[in-house]
Amino acid sequence: MTDSSPVQVPGTVLTMRRIGTYQTMTLVAPGVAERFRPGQFVAVAVGGEQSSMLLRRCFSVREVKPDYGGTVEIVFAVRGKGTEWLAALRPRDIVDVAGPLGRPFPLPRDPVNCVLLGVAHGSAALFPLAAVLGQRDCRLHFVLGGATSDDVLGARGARRTGDSVAVATEDGSLGSAGSVGDLLPGVIEDAQADVVYACGPLDTLRAVTRTCTGYGIPAQVAVEEPMACGTGVCMACVLPVIGDDGGTHMVRTCVEGPVFRGERVRWDDVGTIPFDALGAPRALRLGERS
């Protein structure tokens, strides 16, 4: 059995490519690829050894391969100094990589009809999942979206591997004008979906969960909550989630997630500590009673 515990290794940059508005980086990261399961992520140190940027950057994994001893491909948008530094790397440069981290997607035991929904570069996590689901003879129906056609990730690959692909862009430059949430009910009905796997912003995941609840099917969602450390130390990515005991727990997206059952997340309370959460500050509980 493969050891599933994460490792921290020096990763060698193999390739850097642009896809639409995103940057992709393939790293040779021995030990990470063979441990990886769909839905997990990696945390990459940025800025070099003398950098003042102490926090790692966490990224979904788009693809793993056994090549060169194990390669991992990540996709990211350049949005700050850390990702600017990463985007400037060149083949043979070395970065510190920790992974795989987080809780993966649960997988069905039998072939089922799956809808895979993703927005922007968050869609990256869907593709290793699709590869595994395909090996289990599941039918795959993609719903992909973004602000513009350049922001939609993986539409071509989805057409190669999926049984159907629906695309929505906010400006209508590719597929339907609107959001992926607009397309989801029709795809669920046409596909006779048994489960929806989703990655994207919180508002999208909230809408996906609401739609799935209406159809009585499970939503497995990979939350894109900002993670400062990626290992559960800093507690910066906590969410209110209903546990198996029926109580609300403040859990870490990076350790107890990033994958959750959608109906277990208290979406309307994200960013707060609900008064009835286990371990909530006493003052909040007393204030709620008064």
Q: Is 57 annotated as a binding residue?
A: yes
**N-term to C-term CA, the chain:** 55
Collapsed DSSP state (helix, strand, coil) of residue 198: strand
Is residue 212 part of an annotated ligand binding site? no
Q: Does 59 belong to an annotated binding site?
A: yes
Distances (CA, A) of 167 to 70, 125, 173: 32, 17, 10
138 labelled as ligand-binding?
no
The annotation status of 83 as a binding-site residue, yes or no, is yes
Contact, 20 vs 157, CB < 8 A?
no
Q: Are 163 and 173 in contact (CB under 8 A)?
A: no
161 is in an annotated binding site: no
Binding site annotation covers 58?
Answer: yes
- In this structure, are strands 238-242 and 219-223 parallel, antiparallel, or unpaired? unpaired
The DSSP symbol for 175 reads S
199 is in an annotated binding site: no
Query: What is the rounded distance in angstroms from the CA atom of residue 260 to the CA atom of residue 277?
Result: 17
In DSSP notation, 108-170 reads: -SS--EEEEEEEGGGGGGHHHHHHHHHHTT-EEEEEEEESSGGG--SHHHHHHH-SEEEEEET
For residue 265, list its beta bridge partners.
241
CA distances to 14, 116, 272, 288 from 265, rounded to whole Å, are: 38, 19, 12, 21
Residue keyed to tokens 């707060």:
272
**Alpha carbon distance 44, 190 (integer Å):** 40
Task: Enumerate the known binding-site residues for [2Fe-2S] cluster.
Answer: 229, 234, 237, 254
Task: Enumerate the known binding-site residues for FAD.
Answer: 57-60, 82-83
Task: Enumerate the known binding-site residues.
Answer: 57-60, 82-83, 229, 234, 237, 254
